[in-house]
Structure 1
Amino acid sequence: MPSKHIDDITWRKVEKEHVKAVVTTQSSLKDTEVLKILITKGLECISDEDYELFAKKKRERNKT
């Protein structure tokens, strides 16, 4: 399985969604399953404008 670093703040959000998914479905789900759902859903929704906004914010952060 490919491995990439996920920062702590983002991972905590994934963990919260994991708990929410388990409570909502009342079934056992692995954190990797929830992560796959989040990534897949995000890929369906992301736009070029989202990337541009992210890059703009990143440039602004790097100026300071």
Structure 2
Amino acid sequence: MDTKPKERHKYWNRSKELITLVNVLRNQGVSHVEELTTTFKEFVKGYIAQLHMQPLNKYELEYVWTRLMD
């Protein structure tokens, strides 16, 4: 019999963090990103580290990229 309390899955809404990231990138002049390249991924990782955010999964990175296509 397991007597340890079950750990709950920690979930938070990342939409505010992602919108903040997109706005920071736009303020830095990043827009009209045509391709999701490795260089772009590394560039975004640098900003994520500066903003003290958790790393993005592939869907969140794709969301940021599509927001910056405009």
TM-score by length of 1: 0.36
* Greater fraction of residues in helix: 1
Larger radius of gyration: 2
TM-score by length of 2: 0.34
